[in-house]
Amino acid sequence: KQEVTQIPAALSVPEGENLVLNCSFTDSAIYNLQWFRQDPGKGLTSLLLIQSSQREQTSGRLNASLDKSSGRSTLYIAASQPGDSATYLCAALNYGQNFVFGPGTRLSVLP
Amino acid sequence: DAGITQSPRHKVTETGTPVTLRCHQTENHRYMYWYRQDPGHGLRLIHYSYGVKDTDKGEVSDGYSVSRSKTEDFLLTLESATSSQTSVYFCAISESGGTGDKPQHFGDGTRLSIL
C-alpha cells in the first residue's frame, strides 16, 4: 500500500528565500505525482503534475522534480513571497489506483 | 479554474439525520471523487466514480453512499450522520483517473458539523 510523507510539517522563511519542500513515497512504481497548494478554508489548487517518465516540471517560480528510485519528489520555490504562504500537498498515483496524499507542509513566508 | 461547485458550503446538523452533499462539474470529466480532510489524517478517499452509474469504494467508505445519475453530478449521502463524520468534504474531478496523465482538480469544500 502506497504511503506518502512530507517533511517538515511546517516551515517559516523570510521573503525572498529559495526553498525546497519534500515528498516521500514508499512504492516507487508510481505513475505520476501531483503537487497542490491549499489556502486556509479553500480547496486544493493543482500546481504541477510530473509523469513517471519525466524528471521535472516547471511553472513560473515553481520547479518539481521526481526521483522514483529514491522515492522522493521535491518542490522548489524560487524567490519566495508572502503570497506563497499556504499548505503544500503532494499526491502519488500508482497505475490503476487512486491518488494517495501526503499530510502537507505548512509554509509561512514572512515579509 | 476547473468548474466544480460543491453545495452546500456549510452545514450543521444533528446526529442521526440524513445528509446529502452535491458536487456539480461543468468540465465533462469522467472521474469524480469524494474526499474528507481531517486534522492528523490528511485527505482520505471516500468513494469515487468512473462514469455514470459506475462507482467504487475508497479508503473510508463506511457510513457513506454515493450516486451518479448524470456526468455532471456526484452525490455523497450520509444515511444517518454521526459525530465522527464531522469533517471538511472535498469533491475532485479528473479526465483520466488512475490510468492516465491528467491532474485532479478540487472544489472549494463543504464544512459539515454534526452535533
| Calpha distance A54→B18 (Å, rounded) | 46
Cα dihedral across residues A72, A73, A77, A82: positive or negative: negative
A95 part of contact set with chain B, CB < 8 Å: yes
- What residues of B are in contact with residue A36 (Cβ under 8 Å)? 106
A32 part of contact set with chain B, CB < 8 Å: yes
Which secondary-structure segment (H or E) carries B67?
A: strand B64-70
Q: List Cα–Cα distances, A104 to A54, A60, A107, B29, B81, in angstroms.
A: 23, 21, 9, 26, 28
Do B115 and B12 contact (CB within 8 A), yes or no? Answer: yes
> Which pLDDT band, with edges at 50, 70 and 90, does A18 fall under?
very high
What residue ranges in A1-111 does DSSP mark as E strands?
A: 4-5, 10-14, 19-25, 30-38, 44-51, 56-59, 62-67, 72-77, 86-94, 100-101, 105-110
Cα R_g (chain A), whole angstroms = 13
- What residues of B are in contact with residue A102 (Cβ under 8 Å)? 42
Taking an 8 Å cut-off on Cβ atoms, the answer to whether A89 and B42 are in contact is yes
> Which pLDDT band, with edges at 50, 70 and 90, does A11 fall under?
very high
| Calpha distance B78→B36 (Å, rounded) | 13
> Which pLDDT band, with edges at 50, 70 and 90, does A95 fall under?
confident
Q: Report the chain B residue with the minimal C-alpha distance to residue A101.
A: B43
Q: Going by C-beta distance under 8 Å and a sequence separation of 6 or more, which residues neighbour residue A53?
A: none
Label residue B49 exposed, middle or buried (CB < 10 Å: 0-12, 13-18, 19+).
buried
The pLDDT value recorded for residue B2 is: 67
Gap from B105 CA to chain A (nearest CA, Å): 6
Gap from B22 CA to chain A (nearest CA, Å): 15
* Omega within 30 of 0 (cis) for the link into A111: no
Evaluate if residue B102 carries a pLDDT over 90: no
CB contacts < 8 A (A, B): 55
Gap from B92 CA to chain A (nearest CA, Å): 9
Do B27 and B93 contact (CB within 8 A), yes or no? Answer: yes
In the numeric block, the cell 478517499 is attached to B45
- What residues of A are in contact with residue B104 (Cβ under 8 Å)? 34, 44, 46, 91, 99
Taking an 8 Å cut-off on Cβ atoms, the answer to whether A96 and B99 are in contact is yes
Per-residue pLDDT tens digits for B18-62:
999 999 999 999 999 999 999 888 899 999 999 999 999 999 999
